[in-house]
Amino acid sequence: MFQSVSIENFRSFAEETTIDFRANKSTAHPNTIYTNLYGKSPARITKFNMLFGPNGSGKSNLIDAISFFRFVIVRGIPDCGISDLANVFKADELGTIGKVVFHFSVPESPLLYTYTLTIDYSARTLTGEKLSSNKGDIFGWEIGEKELPIFTQLKAVFSPKADKERYKVYVDDFCSVAKPNKTFLSKLANMEKDQSTIGNIEMFFRPILEVFYRIIIFSPSPAKYKDLKDAIIDEGGKLDAMRKEIRRLGLSFNSIQLEEVDIKTFAENLGMTIKAVEEFATRIKNRINPGETRHFIRSDRPYYFGLKENGDQVFYKIVLHYENGAKLDFESESSGTQKIVNMLPVLFGEECRNNGLFLIDEVDRSLHTNLTKQFVNEIIREHGGRTNQFLFTAHDPALLDTSIFRKDELFFLENENHASHIFRLDETSIRIDRDIKKKYTSGQIKV
């Protein structure tokens, strides 16, 4: 869970821009607040946050920034999946790509951690990294001579001699590589994996790194969510949970199932040759057990491959079933129905239990206003008692509803001179008893 996130020089975020999730003193919607116990003044953090802004204001850029830095922090620059560097960061007037800075604070009781990462992507290197807590600095380094990392802060956080010596070895190893492209934070976790036992170093740093492991970004792709597949094939009793949510939302269908198709239909629908599908099936069937089903990994479309109990290969597609006995291929349904199906796991999935950060970009896209509000209300109902955090982006002013959200959970983005700026409703002079939707659509909500 984030207490705040700051971004500088990423796409439309030219100057340092911060989204702050610390709650104000309001007593409205108490179940949407998470209280972290650290220090003398426990932090109250908003769990369900909605970001509004016109097209081109930078809403998706904020989601992309968190996603991008998640990859860099966990996997390193070469593996982040960014191909067009010229479009990743905001270029200055000379057309050069400057340093990019990402800063976040995260409560992990009883501590509040703050982490800063600086990247020079034109040189494909990290240029600085710092980790602190409310108890003081833990480590920090910056690029020095010969482009080698130099630690400027290094706290002796371990008392056992063996841990202290091993920690120093990790530091020396990190400082021996010029132009580092992986974070010291991730290297600590990866180095510890090579140890025969998990030591204090792993236990100390893993919770910080896991903040990024627990980020889930929802986009219209059934390949992303294991829980949707498990529900469709009724793995672990999730089918009943999914049907329950379908009824709660009042959707037009009542069940989602897999239906067997022949290999020719399977290949044609995926735009592949039969030979290519057979080659894939040969590779994958040696890695799964009889009776097991996998999403067809070469496509985001709703097609699955599996093995029957007797070992025969089988191909499936997703089919929606209706009350009157009719059925329809998933891909033939409306874009709104497809989207809500792909987001259903957030209401029942195992990976959605606790300590997750969910980024749902344009939650209202392709959905009727009433369905969007109902879906968001279901999320709040389901996760109100959990330690998950949500950041939605939307256009629909009907979601500017203080019966759903607190004032400090409603954020706005403005774009002036191609630069994005974030502010919160409680930073404005708008009173809660006024028609917020009308003032937003008329452009009257300003800092």
- What is the tens place of the pLDDT at every residue in 185-206? 888 777 655 554 446 776 777 7
Q: Which token pair is 145?
A: 């001579």
pTM: 0.87
Query: Quick check: is 158 in a domain?
Result: yes
The reply to whether 167 and 73 lie within a common domain is: yes
Q: Which of 158-172, 256-270, 293-307, 336-350 has the highest mean pLDDT?
A: 256-270
pLDDT in tens, 377-399: 999 999 988 889 999 999 999 99
The reply to whether 172 and 196 lie within a common domain is: yes
pLDDT in tens, 262-311: 999 888 888 889 998 888 888 877 777 777 776 654 556 677 777 777 77
The reply to whether 330 and 366 lie within a common domain is: no
Tokens 């992986």 belong to 182
Measured CA to CA, the distance from residue 121 to residue 97 in angstroms comes to 7
Please provide the DSSP assignment of 365-422 as one string. TTS-HHHHHHHHHHHHHHHTTSS-EEEEEE--GGG--TTTS-GGGEEEEEEETTEEEE
Q: Which token pair is 339?
A: 């989207």
- The 8-class DSSP code of residue 97 comes to B
The domain that holds 118 is classified in CATH as 3.40.50
The last residue of a domain, from among 341, 375, 409: 341
pLDDT in tens, 391-432: 999 999 999 999 999 999 999 998 887 789 999 999 988 776
Tokens 């976040």 belong to 104
The reply to whether 106 and 18 lie within a common domain is: yes
The reply to whether 309 and 203 lie within a common domain is: no
The reply to whether 288 and 233 lie within a common domain is: yes
Q: Amino acid letter at 216?
A: I
Note the pLDDT of residue 47.
Answer: 96
Number of domains present in the structure of the chain: 2
Q: What is the arithmetic mean of pLDDT over 318-344? A: 87
Mean pLDDT of the chain: 82
The reply to whether 244 and 130 lie within a common domain is: no
The reply to whether 311 and 370 lie within a common domain is: no
> Is residue 434 pLDDT above 60, yes or no?
yes
Note the pLDDT of residue 93.
Answer: 54
Q: Are 69 and 215 in contact (CB under 8 A)?
A: no
pLDDT in tens, 204-242: 777 788 888 888 887 644 444 556 666 776 665 677 888
Residue range of the domain that includes 295: 223-341
Query: Quick check: is 289 in a domain?
Result: yes
The last residue of a domain, from among 290, 316, 341: 341
Q: Are 118 and 7 in contact (CB under 8 A)?
A: no
The last residue of a domain, from among 341, 368, 386: 341
Query: Quick check: is 243 in a domain?
Result: yes
Query: Quick check: is 445 in a domain?
Result: yes
